[in-house]
Every structure is written in C-alpha cells, then in structure tokens.
Amino acid sequence: MKKEKSENVLAQNRKANHDYFIKETYEAGIALTGTEIKSVRARKITLRDGYVQIHNGSAFLENVHISEYTHGNRYNHDPLRSRRLLLHKTELRHLAKAQEERGIAIIPLKVYLKKGFAKILIGVGQGKKQYDKRETIKKRDQERELRRKYRV
C-alpha cells in the first residue's frame, strides 16, 4: 500500500491574510505549459500581486509571475501570461457572483502539489481598512506574548 504524501506547498501569499478578510476558499487546478510546471516545481512563482478574473464562464489567474525555466529554449513561456483555472461550474457561478460585489476580491492564497498536479487555493476576500490591519497586528502580538509567558 502506497502512503500518500502531504501537500507540498510551493508558494504562499502571506500578504493576503494581512490585506483581506478571507470568507471562502476554493481549490483549483492550473492549466500550465511544460516549462511553467517545471518552474513552479522549482518554486519560481510569485503570488503577491495576483488576482482571479472571471471571463465568459472561465476563471483566469492574472498578474502571477512564473519565472522562465532556466533550461528552456525558444519554447519558454511568458512569465506574466494569464492562466486558466480549472473549477466546477457551480464554483465558477459562486465566484462570478462574488466578483460582482463591491469591495470583494478573488486572490490566490497558495500553490501546492497534490498527487503530482499543481493546485492553487484561491480565496474570496473583503479588503481590510487600515484600522482593521492594526487591530490584527495587535491581536497577534498579544497572543505571542501569552504564549511566551506560559511557555516559561
């Protein structure tokens, strides 16, 4: 019996939880070319400024930088091209409704390998105001102090 590996996280968008209240998450596959998947496996991907856009019933990952594959030749890919996300129709309908709402963004949270395939976790988030960000930092610092106090 073959033991299944745990998720292999290749990239995370750490700024997402600081800038957004994440309401829902969805797992999607990414349609990548051969040189793109090799770069993703080498962890040459940046999610920081990325977002998801819904066009004509399909979801596309925009503004995510996947570096060119170092051993690629003339068939190398464009680092900032839009990539199609593979989702179920019901999930696409939910995301399309969320995209229409004001103040809601669909953002990539992390990219990982699952059974050899590249998957992306996308979140539906509402933007935080500056005072919300300060409150989050304050709570995190208080929790850190409590853990430090009780650990001694």
pLDDT digits (tens, 9 = 90+) for 78-119: 778 888 999 999 999 999 998 888 888 899 999 998 888 889
* Fold for the domain defined by 8-151: Small Protein B; Chain: A; (2.40.280)
Mean pLDDT of 137-143: 91
Is pLDDT above 70 for 150? yes
Residue 35, helix vs strand vs coil: helix
Q: Quick check: helix, strand or coil at residue 18? A: helix
Q: Given CA atoms 36, 40, 46, 49 in this order, what sign does their dihedral have?
A: positive
Let me know how many helices (H) and strands (E) the chain has, helices first. Answer: 4, 9
* pLDDT for residue 152: 65
User: What is the predicted pLDDT for the residue at 26?
Assistant: 93
Q: Is the pLDDT of residue 1 over 50?
A: no
pTM of the full predicted structure?
Answer: 0.80
The alpha-carbon radius of gyration of the chain (Å, integer) is 18
> Above 60 in pLDDT, residue 59?
yes
Q: What is the 3-state secondary structure (H, E, C) of 99-132?
A: HHCCCEEEEEEEEEEECCEEEEEEEEEEECCHHH
